[in-house]
Structure 1
Amino acid sequence: MRHRVAGRQFSRDTSSRRAMFRALAGALILHERIRTTDAKAKELRRIAERLITRARRLGEVAEADAKDLSPEDLARRLHARRVVARFLPRFGEKADESGEQVEIDLYEKLFAELGPRFRDRNGGYTRIIKVGPRRGDGAPISIIELIGSEGEAQEEEEEIEMGKGKKAAKKDEKKGKKAPAKAAPAKKAAPAKKAAPAKKAAPAKKAAPAKKAAPAKKA
């Protein structure tokens, strides 16, 4: 039987993996739209769906004043906040319109804003959009966002398209500015090789002198 097949390990131990997803969940609740790898987005979706479901089921109890709640409702709300605290940091920082960093209570946003937003929706609070491979290591990248943040997504997509259009225009301008290629100079004809001097004829050998006839012997 195969064990430990539920969930991805991400080459991390338990504490490191929990810390990573705690930070990712906080970023998703804070910004409602983040960019990460496909595998992390799929695992993060499971956590985000459970957190929002926990806030949605409280209903009016999450927003009511503590004085107006029964002991049972107070216990329910306290238990829900304790469960959420295991997977979500308490505060997050986000830049406002002026560019200053503002501290936001993520518990308050989850229970007071996201819970009522998805009150009539039974699950499926997030959406994963595949972007493509990451430049450098080729890791598949996705955008995970909460349903209802389509306006921001459309603006970001338009900015991306505008950026791509500007890059293409710059490339065309660079191509137009390039000087025409100069014609390669004609190669000079190689000088004709000088004819090798004719070899001198070897001098004729002198004829050997004829041998004198031997004198006849006397009778």
Structure 2
Amino acid sequence: MRHKVAGKKFNRSASHRKAMFRNMAKSMIEHESIRTTEIRAKELRRVVEKLVTLALKNDVPARRQAYKVLGSHTLVKRLFDDIGPRFAGVPGGYTRVVKMGQPRNGDAAPMAIIEFTREAAAAVEEAPKAAEEKKTEE
């Protein structure tokens, strides 16, 4: 029985599974959207949302914890400077999993796209609107 055992094993060893999710998290932060199987996307969501929560703290220990997962200073900088501020004041739900209609060729695995809920362009557009509202109030 698997009582209180969280996460899927994916028929891999623990180290292989950890490496797989680290690589997928790196790609997710670099490209902001990746295509993978539904089950992997749902499990990746747990990893990426924890990283975004660390980015909202924006202190040195949080950056070090994010570096342990990402292993790249440029990705940590992108996470904390670009992605984290988009979700300021948002209590959760930083990613969405969109199921694709077409299964994968070869094994017919159900595919999905995992992406951030707020896109970079939307965050850039909201900033000038907030500045305009502030000017009108004065």
TM-score range, shorter chain: 0.7 to 0.9
Separation in structure 1 between the aligned mates of residue 77 and residue 35 of structure 2, nearest angstrom: 24
1:178-193 to structure 2, matched below 5 A, reads none
| 1:84 counterpart = 2:79 | no
Deviation at 1:150, TM superposition (A): 8.8
- Partner letter of residue 46 of structure 2? R
Separation in structure 2 between the aligned mates of residue 15 and residue 116 of structure 1, nearest angstrom: 32
* Structure having the higher Rg: 1
> Between Structure 1 and Structure 2, how many residues are aligned?
120
Q: Could you say what the CA RMSD is over the residues aligned between the two structures, in angstroms?
A: 1.8
8 Å CA contact 1:126–1:146 kept in 2: the answer is yes
Segments of 4+ moved more than 2 angstroms: 1-5, 148-151
Query: What TM-score do the two structures reach when normalised by structure 1?
Result: 0.51
Partner of 1:130: 99
Partner of 1:111: 80
Partner of 1:26: 26
| Structure with greater helix percent | 2
Return closer, same or farther for 1:149/1:116 CA change in 2, 3 Å cut-off.
closer
Higher relative contact order (CA 8 A, sep 6+): 2
Deviation at 1:3, TM superposition (A): 4.8
Provide structure 1 residue ranges, at least 5 long, that are not aligned to the other structure: 59-76, 92-104, 152-219
Query: What TM-score do the two structures reach when normalised by structure 2?
Result: 0.79
8 Å CA contact 2:97–2:113 kept in 1: the answer is yes
Return closer, same or farther for 1:140/1:150 CA change in 2, 3 Å cut-off.
farther
